[in-house]
Structure 1
């Protein structure tokens, strides 16, 4: 499967200011595969070290962190010569040996000729857990589940993805049913690599659901294995409450729905743990449209989305027939699923600050407002082709944005103050806003 992130890795390799690279992301989003695939394509040799339950590596890094000594030890362990610039050195599950994380500082300062990429499940937890890890000595890359365009390439073909990237909406409209069918499939399958690969090969929705159940079970095991024991029950309760929170018309996260009488202070640590793991996306409220939006963030009001739309469907027991054929009883949750999908695609776009807007009276809510660094773009999400957008109009009358986006199953259309953007083209939102201005 093609992952767009590999292009960033090629750019990292050629950078004159290259530092050891840390790939962050939730468990099972494809970090190990990406590192190995990059090494296979871009380097003469690859030395792969998995630090999980690796006593020999733990011992090697336990004394001094002299880079020459470490390289010699890794060469002895792997049986391979590490040639600067020719060998990719991969540290996987690097959080299991904290001093290996600390060593990256010395590789950057004393041995920058070595190309090192690192990843690990729960790496965000390790970095926030007091590990001796100096800021500014590493590069970071965030990896998410496959985006819809990556899913489209894997299941239907790259030509369909190319049309979206070219924004050839006249041609896209001629084949829109293919895009709509693929989007409904993506709502069920999601972007976890194992699920996508299974679906691409066998088109078996039942097997996909079994894979999703295994992934969710692994996350539950991580709660017990890695989180502080006193917050494990709170993590579980918070995690399991997300689908019902998203099903509400007002999707603001309410602690009282996690447990009756629940308060923010009780669940702050649990929420931070899930966020550091990459399992949830926290989208904060703003009540104005100034740049930067971060300066106007309301830290007490937020929506919470999970890492993957397919996993959200699995958590709720959503059947593929309900998604693909439609069901009158499904209308309520369809909006939640669509917002989850849009959030997930926006997260894959670089340099976008993602928030949502409500006015102080709560009479106007815009699903997402995006800070591109140049302007603030309101984004209204519609699950079908219903194009009524009362809140978006109120927002535009108040703030007069240069561009507004309404995304739905309707075709692309640019009006005076509004762009109708098909849901299957949401990933192009950043490029579209640039090209219009």
Structure 2
């Protein structure tokens, strides 16, 4: 399996301003595999330490955090020499020993020549609960489930991924049915590495679904194990309401659908917990289209997506035949899966602010609106080949964007003010934006 994040790690390795790196991401998105794979490919030696239930490491980091002393202790524990230039030092499940996180400050200041990468389950919680390490002394990398491009590579369709990268849309259109069939598979399987690897090995959709159920069960166990007791029921109720929220035509999150009479103040902590874990993506509304979009953010109105499209389908019990063969009865939920898919792909693109737009009357809604730092790009999502663009037209007339994008199952087409981008090519958005910026 190949992860595009490897390329980011290679840049981190050679950076003159390299600091210890923390990889953030939901449980089971492949953080441990990524660190070990990077170490095996890019270093002569990899020293891997798992801090989970590790009393020796807890004791080592319990007293002073002198880096020479810590390195000696790590060498004694692993029986391996840790050299600055050719050893990757991996701290896994590092949140279990908070002082190990605190030690990153001293490695940054006093031993910057060492290459250190950290990760852990629910690490986002530890970071946001005030764990003692100073901002500015570490680098961060967010890891998500496999994107559709990575899914193509993992399933033996590297040439199709390569073709998308070349943006030869005439050739891409010639093979559109292959892309559509693979996209339907991705809707069902999603991008959780264990699910994809199982399907690559066994070609069994049922086994893939069983693994998805196990992952969801593990998340539920995390709620009970790691969240404060008083908010566990609220986390569960909020989490389980997401599929029905997305099935609505207006996908704005409504607390009253979590529980009758539910209000924001009842669930704010639960929502923050899920967000810190990396299990949900909160996409806020904006009511205007200026730079920066964050200045126009409406904190009370948002959509909530989960970490992976395959897990969303599993939560709803959506069967493989219905999804892969197509069924009009599920047209509305297919729209929810499509928006979930697009959100998931956008999240893998660096340096984008992602929001959605509605005007004050609610007569115009743009599914996603993207802030690149230099321009605002509206993106409308269609589950099928529907090419009506009433909201985009209304938005265009008011804000005059440099470029507007509609993504659907229709072929690539570039019009005077609008680019129609096939859903299977959403990742190419980064190139379209870059080209438009250079004009």
Structure 1-normalised TM-score? 0.99
Residues 368-395 of structure 1: CA deviation (Å, up to 9, x unaligned): 0000111100000000101111111111
Deviations 1:397-432 (A, max 9, x none): 111101000000111000001000000110111211
Partner of 1:233: 233
2:309 counterpart residue number: 309
Shift of 1:156: 3.7
Looking at structure 2, the residues matched to 313 and 85 of structure 1 have their Cα atoms a distance apart, in angstroms, of 45
Aligned partner of 2:396 in structure 1 is 396
In structure 1, the partner of 2:115 is 115
Asked if 2 retains the 8 angstrom alpha-carbon contact of 1:372 and 1:430, the reply is: no
Matches of residues 89-100 of structure 1 in structure 2 within 5 Å? 89-100=89-100
Pairwise CA distance, 1:5: 0.1
What CA distance in whole angstroms lies between the structure 1 residues aligned with 2:8 and 2:85? 17
Instruction: Find the residue that maps to 1:369 and give its secondary structure.
Output: strand
Matches within 5 A, 1:336-355: 336-355=336-355
What does residue 106 of structure 2 align with?
106
The alignment partner of 1:237 has SS state of: helix
Which residue number in structure 2 is paired with residue 364 of structure 1? 364
1:18 aligns with 2:18: yes
Q: Within 1, Cα distance between the matches of 2:277 and 2:206?
A: 27
Q: 2:72 aligned with 1:72, yes or no?
A: yes
Is the counterpart of residue 245 in structure 1 residue 245 in structure 2? Answer: yes
Q: Which residue of 1 aligns with 2:259?
A: 259
Q: Secondary structure at the match of 1:84?
A: coil
Q: Which residue of 1 aligns with 2:405?
A: 405
Pair 1:142 & 2:151 matched: no
Contact 1:285 1:301 in 2 (8 A): yes
List alignment gaps of at least 5 residues for structure 1.
none
Q: Secondary structure at the residue paired with 1:183?
A: helix
User: How much has 1:352 moved relative to structure 2?
Assistant: 0.7
**Which residue does the alignment assign to 1:268?**
268
Q: Indicate the larger mover: 194-203 or 113-122.
A: 194-203
Instruction: Say how many residue pairs are matched.
Output: 437
List runs of 5+ in structure 2 lacking aligned partners: none
- Where 1:195 maps in the other structure, the secondary structure is helix
Aligned mates of 2:126, 2:428 — CA distance in 1: 33
RMSD: 0.6
Q: For residues 255 and 389 of structure 2, what CA distance do their matches in structure 1 show?
A: 29
User: What is the deviation of 1:345?
Assistant: 0.1
> In 2, distance between residues paired with 1:418 and 1:133?
47
Deviation, 1:362, is: 0.6
> How far apart are the structure 1 equivalents of 2:133 and 2:235?
26
In structure 1, C-alpha distance between the alignment counterparts of 2:165 and 2:305, rounded to whole Å: 26
The secondary structure found in structure 2 opposite 1:362 is coil
**2:6 match:** 6
Q: How far did residue 113 of structure 1 move?
A: 1.0
Offset of residue 202 of structure 1: 1.6
Spell out structure 1 runs of 4+ moving beyond 3 A. Answer: none
Q: How does 1:5-84 map to 2 (within 5 A)?
A: 5-84=5-84
Q: Which residue of 2 aligns with 1:195?
A: 195
Does the residue aligned with 2:113 lie in a helix, a strand or coil? Answer: coil
Q: Distance in 2 between matches of 1:156 and 1:357?
A: 38
Q: Give 1:201 deviation, angstroms.
A: 1.8
**Post-superposition shift, 1:243?**
0.2
Moved more, 162-171 or 352-361: 162-171
Task: Measure the CA separation in 1 of the matches of 2:89 and 2:184.
Answer: 39
- 8 A contact 1:22–1:139 mirrored in 2: yes
How far apart are the structure 2 equivalents of 1:164 and 1:373?
A: 25
For residues 65-121 of structure 1, give each alpha carbon's deviation from its aligned partner in whole angstroms, at most 9, with x where no partner exists. Answer: 000000000000000000111110000000000000000000000001110000001
TM-score normalized with structure 2 length: 0.99
- The residue number in structure 2 matching 1:377 is 377
Instruction: Write the distance in 2 (CA, Å) between the matches of 1:161 and 1:374.
Output: 28
